[in-house]
Structure 1
Amino acid sequence: MQVPAIAITPFSQKLSAPLLKHDISVLQINLGKICNLACSHCHVEASPNRTEELSPEICQQLIEIIQRFPQIQTVDLTGGAPEMLYGFRELVKAARASGKEAITRSNLTIYFEKGYEDIPEFFAQHQVRVVASLPCYLEDNVDKMRGKGVFDKSIQALQWLNRLGYGSDPQLILDLVYNPQLPTANKFSLAPNQQNLQAAYKNHLQEHFGIVFNNLFTITNLPIGRSKFHLQHRKLEEEYTSFLETNFNPTTLGHVMCRNQLSVDYQGNIYDCDFNQMENLPARSPHGEILTIAKILEQGTLDIIQEIQTADYCYGCTAGSGSSCGGALL
Structure 2
Amino acid sequence: MQTISTTPFEDKLNYPLKKKQISVLQINLGKRCNLACTHCHVEASPKRTEEISPQICEDLISLIYKFPQIQIVDLTGGAPEMNYGFKPLVEAARVTGKQVIVRSNLTIYFEEEFDDLPEYFAQHQVRVVASLPCYLADNVDKMRGNGVFDRSTQALQWLNKLGYGKQKNLILDLVYNPPLPTNAKFSLAPEQTKLEQDYKIFLQEHFDIVFNNLFTITNLPVGRTKMHLERQKLHTSYLQFLESHFNGSTVEHLMCRDQLSIDYLGNVYDCDFNQMMHLPARTHNGESLTVAKLLEFDNLDLINEIQTASYCYGCTAGCGSSCGGALL
Fold match (TM-score > 0.5): yes
- Tell whether 2:23 aligns with 1:31: no
Tell me, in whole angstroms, the C-alpha distance in 2 between the residues paired with 1:83 and 1:116. Answer: 8
Residue 167 of structure 2 aligns with which residue?
169
The TM-score, its normalising length taken from structure 2, stands at 0.99
Unpaired segments ≥5 residues, structure 2? none
Selected match of 1:201 from 190, 199, 202: 199
- CA offset digits 1:149-176 (Å, max 9, x no partner): 0000000000000000000000000000
Cα distance change, pair 290–160 in 1 and its aligned pair in 2 (3 A)? same
Selected match of 1:275 from 273, 276, 285: 273
Residue 193 of structure 1, CA deviation: 0.2
- Tell whether 2:225 aligns with 1:219: no
What is the DSSP-based 3-state SS (H/G/I as helix, E as strand, rest coil) of the residue aligned with 1:207?
helix
Selected match of 1:185 from 175, 178, 183: 183
Tell me, in whole angstroms, the C-alpha distance in 2 between the residues paired with 1:298 and 1:141. Answer: 47
What is the DSSP-based 3-state SS (H/G/I as helix, E as strand, rest coil) of the residue aligned with 2:125?
coil
Tell me, in whole angstroms, the C-alpha distance in 2 between the residues paired with 1:186 and 1:154. Answer: 31
- Tell whether 2:155 aligns with 1:157: yes
Tell me, in whole angstroms, the C-alpha distance in 1 between the residues paired with 2:120 and 2:27. Answer: 19
Residue 135 of structure 1 aligns with which residue?
133
TM alignment of 1:1-330, pairs within 5 A: 7-330=5-328
Tell me, in whole angstroms, the C-alpha distance in 2 between the residues paired with 1:161 and 1:127. Answer: 12
The TM-score, its normalising length taken from structure 1, stands at 0.98
What is the DSSP-based 3-state SS (H/G/I as helix, E as strand, rest coil) of the residue aligned with 1:131?
strand
Tell me, in whole angstroms, the C-alpha distance in 1 between the residues paired with 2:45 and 2:76. Answer: 14
- CA offset digits 1:71-91 (Å, max 9, x no partner): 000000000000000000000
What is the DSSP-based 3-state SS (H/G/I as helix, E as strand, rest coil) of the residue aligned with 1:57?
helix
Tell me, in whole angstroms, the C-alpha distance in 2 between the residues paired with 1:291 and 1:212. Answer: 41
Residue 7 of structure 1, CA deviation: 2.6
Identical columns (%): 71
Give the letter aligned to residue 195 of structure 2: L
- CA offset digits 1:121-152 (Å, max 9, x no partner): 00000000000000000000000000000000
RMSD in angstroms over aligned alpha carbons?
Answer: 0.8
Cα distance change, pair 85–186 in 1 and its aligned pair in 2 (3 A)? same
Give the letter aligned to residue 30 of structure 1: N
- CA offset digits 1:24-48 (Å, max 9, x no partner): 0000000000000000000000000
Tell me, in whole angstroms, the C-alpha distance in 2 between the residues paired with 1:5 and 1:272. Answer: 25
Figure out how many residues of one structure are paired with residues of the other and give that number.
327
Unpaired segments ≥5 residues, structure 1? none
- CA offset digits 1:66-118 (Å, max 9, x no partner): 00000000000000000000000000000000000000000000000000000
What is the DSSP-based 3-state SS (H/G/I as helix, E as strand, rest coil) of the residue aligned with 1:253?
helix
